[in-house]
Structure 1
Amino acid sequence: MLDINWRPDRNSPYRLNIQIVNFIKDKIATGEWPVGFKLPSQRTLSEIFCVNRSTVVSALEELAAEGLISGNAGGGTKVINNTWTLMSINHSHNWLPYISSGLHQTNQNIMQQINQAEFQPDIIRMGSCEPSPELIPNKMIQGVLKKLSKSMASLGYEEPKGNIHLRREVCTYLKTIGIEADPSSVLITSGVLQALQLISLGLLHTNSVVYVEKPSYLYSLRTFQSFGMQPSGIKLDEEGIEIKELVDRHRRRKGAMLFTIPTFQNPTGSVMSLERRKTLVDACDRERLPIIEDDVYRELWFDEQPPQPIKAFDNNGLVLYIGGISKNLSPGLRIGWIVGSEKVIERLADIKMQTDYGTSSLSQNVTTELFSSGLYYQHNDIMRKNVKIRRDVALEALKKYFTGIGTWNIPRGGYFIWLKLNEGISMYQLFTKALSRKILVHPGDLYEFHSDQYLRISYSYASLNEIDYGIKTLSELVAEQIF
C-alpha cells in the first residue's frame, strides 16, 4: 500500500501538474521509486493529490515525454529511466529484485491498509486487539520508572533467557494459574509474536505442517508461511478444537506442531472447556504432537476465571506455553515469555541472542517491579472491570442495531465479538466504505477464507461512544448492501 502524504500547493506560482511532475521526479531521483516501479492508476493519483484527473494525465504525459515513465494497456505505468539532465549524476539503485526475493512474505493488501489506517487521526478502531490508551496504567508505570531511576545499577544486556528476577516473578505468577515452572525453563521475549518467530526459526523446518484453529488470527499473519511452514486448519466447536479431526489429519499428514489459543480465542472469543483441554493433552501426547499454547488474553476474564492452561495438565514437556503483558497491561513494554522444557528454552534463547541480543533491560526491570510489588495483579482487577463495561456497551449496540441482520457470541472475556451476518455481502466493500467513514473493522476472511460472512468486532480500543457509533454505522452499511 503506497503511503503518500504530499499534496500540491494551490497557492504556489507553479501549476499543479508541474508540481506533481517535480514530486515524482524527486521520488525517482532518491530511489524511492526505482526503475520498474509501478505507479498507482490515474484515478488513484488524482484522489491522493486531490486534483482533477486531467491534471494527473498532463503530469504523466510530461514525464513520459522526458522518457522517465511508460504506460501500456494492462501493464500500468512504470518507471523506465532514472537519468535525465535535471537529475543528480547519482543513479538510483534498483531494489525491486531484492524486495521481491526477500524471505519474509508481504502482508496481504488489506492488512497493509489496516496497519496504516490504525495510525490515522480520528479513526475509530473496531478491529484492534490492544488496549486503549485510557486502559494503560501510565501513572503506575511512571511511578515504577521513578522508583527504578534511583535504584537501577545498569541498563546493560541481560542474560540470554532474560532477567533472572523477572523469570522468577513469572514463575510465581504461573503458579497462580496451575503451572509449575523453574526460571531455567522460562525465556523472556519481546512480545508473543517474537515467541512464534523464535519457535519457527529454532524448532521447525521448511514445509513443516502446523495445525491451527479454523478460524485463527495466524491466517492474517505471515509468521509461519514466511519461514516456509504450511498452516493446516482444524475446525472449532463450542468446546474448542475438534480433536478427532486433528488426530485423523495428523495421522495422514504427520504435522510438526499444533498452535492453539484456548482462552478467549482470537478471533471468535471462545473458551476451550476444561475437559477438552485435558483430552487434547492426552491425544497429542499419544500422537507425539507438540502444542504451542498462546494464552495472552487469559487475565481478561469477566465473571469467572477460565479453566487452567493446557500447560497445567502437561506432564511430559509437550506444551510450549506463551504469555505476556501486551494485551492486559501495556503493548509498548514488549514483554512476553515462553515456558517449556529446559533444552528447548536453551535452544530458543540461543536463537534470540542471534537475532536481537535480548529484550529491553529497561522493560524487563519495569515488569519485574510491577510483578514483585503486586501492582500487576491490582491492575488486572481494574482492567477486567473496565473491559467488561466496553463489552456490555458493544453487546447493547449489537442488540439495538444488528438484530435481524446478524448473530453474535457473548464473550466471557478477551476483546472480541465474532459477528455473523445473516446474508452474504461483499466484505471488502464493507471494509472500504467503513474506512471512508473513519471506522476500521476486520473482515472475517482475514482469519479463514470461509469466514466471509463474519466480522471481528473489538471493543478494546474505541471509546464507549465510538463503540456505539461504530456499530450503528456498520449496521447501516450492511443494510445498504442487503436491501
Structure 2
Amino acid sequence: MDWKPDFSSETPLYIQIKEVIKNKIALGEWVVGTKIPSQRALAEHFNVNRSTVVSALSDLMAEGLLEGNTKGGTKVVNNTWNLLAASPPPDWSSYVQSGNHYPNQPAIQHINRAEFQEGIIRLGTGELSPDLLPSAQMKKIFDKFSANSFTLGYEEPKGNRYLREQVVEYLRGLGIQSSPSNILIVSGALQGLQLISMGLLQRGSSILLEKPSYLYSVHVFQSNAIKLIGLPLDAEGIQTNQISRYMKGYNASLLYTIPSFHNPTGCMMSESRRQELMKVCADEGLPIIEDDVYRELWFDEPPPLPLKARDPNALVLYLGSLSKSLSPGLRIGWVVAPEAVIDRLADIKMQFDYGSSSISQWAAAEWIGSGLYQEHAAHIRDHLKRRRDLTLQLLETHFLGIATWSVPSGGFYIWIRFTVDVPMQMLFDHALKAGILLNPGSIYDRSAGNFLRISYAYAKPNELERGLSKLADLVKEISKPSV
C-alpha cells in the first residue's frame, strides 16, 4: 500500500487505518478470502504502534468485514456490498489457488515487490542499471521511426521479416548458419522457454540442467508438469560425464544449459567441455536448449563459439535476447531451431499474444542492422568490467575470511559462498530493513543455502560500496563460525 497515515490530522490514526483497509475491501482490491498482512507488518508499514493496528482491525471485525485467529491470520470474510446482499460474492481466493500455473517462490515474490521500494540497493538484480541503458540513442531511433512510414498492425507469426534477416546476419558473426525461416522472434528468451515447454514436451517428462540454475527460479517447465533434474557443475561447466547416467535414470527429453556466463554462478563453459557436451548429446540423441543471452557481455576475450555453431545435426535450440545487453523493456529475443519446430512454436505464440510488439521489433532491427548494437555492446562491456573490478575489490576488503568467490570473465554475477554459518532468511530480512535487497542462493538450488548471487550490473558504484560494506557487517553480526 502506498498510503501513509496523516499524523497531523485530527482523525485518530486507527480510524485512518480502518478506513483505508475498508476502502480496499469495498473497491475489490482485497476480495473475500484475502489474507491481509500481519499486525506487525501493518504497524511497521504505517509506522505506528501495534496497538493502533489492533484497534483498527478490531473495529473491522466487529463490522463483519474481517475474521482472524492466531493460526490462520486475519482474512477478509465480507465486503460492504456482501453485507447487504442475499447471496455471497465469489470466493476469488479459491480460484487463485486452483490455477494450473505455479506461483513464484515466496522469496521471488518478496524480491519482485521489494525491487521497487524507494531507496533500495539491489545487490542481486539481473539487469542493466538504468544509467547504462541507451535512452538517448533509443530516442533517436524512435525519432527516425516517426519520420518514416511504419505499421502499427500485427507482424507475421514468426516475427518481422527484416528483423529476422538482421538476426541471421548477426548470428553469422557467431558462426551460426540460419535463415529467416529458422528464427522466431519472442518477447524475451523467457517466452521462448515457455513456448518450448508447452509445444515440444509431454507432461511428466524430464529435462537435465546445471545445478544451480536460473531455471529453478521460474516455473515455466514445472507448471507444465515437467521435472527439472540437476547435474553437478564445476569451473568448466556442466559435468558431461554424468549426462548419460542421468538421462537414462530419468528418461530425460532434453538438456538446458547457459554455457556463457552462467546464471547464477558466472561460470564460463570451456571449449573442451563444449566439444564434450556436443559429442555426448549427439551420441545419446539428447536435444539441447542453449540459453546464450549473456554472450555479448565478455570482458577480456569473447567466449568460445556457441554450441549452435557446431551443430550439423540440428541438435540445439538456440535462445538469444537483447534484454541483458540492450534493454529489458524492449522485450525482444529469438529462438533458432529447425523450421518445423519454429512453425510449431510460432503457432503457439500466436495463440498467446499474436506476436511481439511490432514497434519493438522495428527498433531492434534498427539497432542490429545499423551496427549501433555492436557499438553499444562494447560500451556496456567496458562499464561492466569496471563494476566487476570494483565489486571484487570490495569483496576483498569486506568479505575476506567470511566468504569465497570466483572471478567471472563476463556477465552480471559473482557467486559467493559463505565460510561462516549464516542464517540466510535472517540475513535477507536484516538486509532488507537496512535497505539492501539480496538474491539468496536457495532460489537457484535448494541446497545452496550458504550462497548469494551478487550482481554488479544494476547497483551504481556508490551503492555497491555502501551495500557490500553494510552487508558484510550484517553477516559478521549474525553469523557463527562454520564447524
Q: TM-score range by the shorter chain?
A: over 0.9
2:128 counterpart SS class: coil
**Number of equivalent positions:** 480
- Give the alignment partner of residue 268 of structure 1, picking from 265, 271, 276: 265
- Give the alignment partner of residue 228 of structure 1, picking from 206, 225, 230: 225
- Give the alignment partner of residue 218 of structure 1, picking from 201, 215, 219: 215
Mapping for residues 130-209 of structure 1, pairs under 5 Å = 130-209=127-206
CA distance in 1, matches of 2:48, 2:84: 26
Q: 1:319-364 CA distances to partner (integer Å, 9 max, x unpaired)?
A: 1000011101111111100001110001001111110111111111
Partner residue in 1 for 2:281:
284
CA contact (8 A) 2:82 2:88 kept: no
Q: TM-score, normalised by structure 2?
A: 0.96
CA distance in 2, matches of 1:468, 1:287: 48
- Give the alignment partner of residue 306 of structure 1, picking from 285, 303, 324: 303
Paired amino acid for 2:233? L
Paired amino acid for 2:31? P
Mapping for residues 302-381 of structure 1, pairs under 5 Å = 302-381=299-378
CA contact (8 A) 1:83 1:91 kept: no
Paired amino acid for 2:159? G
The answer to whether structure 1 residue 474 and structure 2 residue 471 are counterparts is: yes
Paired amino acid for 1:333? L
CA contact (8 A) 2:395 2:468 kept: yes
CA distance in 2, matches of 1:49, 1:94: 28
Q: Structure 1 stretch 387-396 or stretch 467-476: which is displaced more?
A: 467-476
- C-alpha deviation, 1:102, in angstroms: 1.0
Aligned-CA RMSD value: 1.7
Mapping for residues 51-62 of structure 1, pairs under 5 Å = 51-62=48-59
1:442 counterpart SS class: coil
2:318 counterpart SS class: strand
- C-alpha deviation, 1:447, in angstroms: 0.7
- Give the alignment partner of residue 452 of structure 1, picking from 442, 449, 454: 449
Paired amino acid for 2:36? L
Gaps of 5+ in 1: none
Q: Percent identity between the aligned chains?
A: 52
CA distance in 1, matches of 2:163, 2:33: 50
The answer to whether structure 1 residue 25 and structure 2 residue 22 are counterparts is: yes
Q: 1:362-419 CA distances to partner (integer Å, 9 max, x unpaired)?
A: 1111111111111111111111111101101001111111111111111100010011
CA distance in 2, matches of 1:405, 1:219: 27
CA contact (8 A) 2:33 2:92 kept: no
- C-alpha deviation, 1:19, in angstroms: 2.1
CA distance in 1, matches of 2:238, 2:103: 29
1:134 counterpart SS class: helix
Closer, same or farther: CA 18–366 of 1 in aligned 2, 3 Å: same
Q: TM-score, normalised by structure 1?
A: 0.96
- C-alpha deviation, 1:148, in angstroms: 1.9
CA distance in 1, matches of 2:401, 2:321: 39
Paired amino acid for 1:342? E
Partner residue in 2 for 1:93:
90
CA distance in 2, matches of 1:71, 1:60: 9
CA contact (8 A) 2:317 2:336 kept: yes
Partner residue in 2 for 1:407:
404
CA distance in 2, matches of 1:150, 1:68: 56
Q: 1:199-232 CA distances to partner (integer Å, 9 max, x unpaired)?
A: 1111112112121210001111111111221111
Closer, same or farther: CA 73–389 of 1 in aligned 2, 3 Å: closer
Q: Structure 1 stretch 87-96 or stretch 68-77: which is displaced more?
A: 87-96
CA distance in 1, matches of 2:183, 2:128: 26
- Give the alignment partner of residue 383 of structure 1, picking from 380, 385, 391: 380
CA distance in 1, matches of 2:333, 2:81: 52
CA contact (8 A) 1:321 1:338 kept: yes
Q: Structure 1 stretch 126-135 or stretch 62-71: which is displaced more?
A: 62-71
CA contact (8 A) 2:243 2:280 kept: no
CA contact (8 A) 1:31 1:92 kept: no
CA contact (8 A) 1:28 1:82 kept: yes
CA distance in 1, matches of 2:478, 2:93: 39
Gaps of 5+ in 2: none
Paired amino acid for 1:263? S
CA contact (8 A) 2:205 2:227 kept: yes
CA distance in 1, matches of 2:89, 2:18: 18
- C-alpha deviation, 1:66, in angstroms: 2.2
Q: Structure 1 stretch 55-64 or stretch 7-16: which is displaced more?
A: 7-16
CA contact (8 A) 1:16 1:55 kept: yes
CA distance in 1, matches of 2:124, 2:313: 38
- Give the alignment partner of residue 435 of structure 2, picking from 423, 435, 438: 438
- C-alpha deviation, 1:247, in angstroms: 1.3
- C-alpha deviation, 1:293, in angstroms: 0.5
1:212 counterpart SS class: strand
Q: 1:18-44 CA distances to partner (integer Å, 9 max, x unpaired)?
A: 222222222222222222222322222
CA distance in 2, matches of 1:131, 1:72: 44
Partner residue in 2 for 1:297:
294
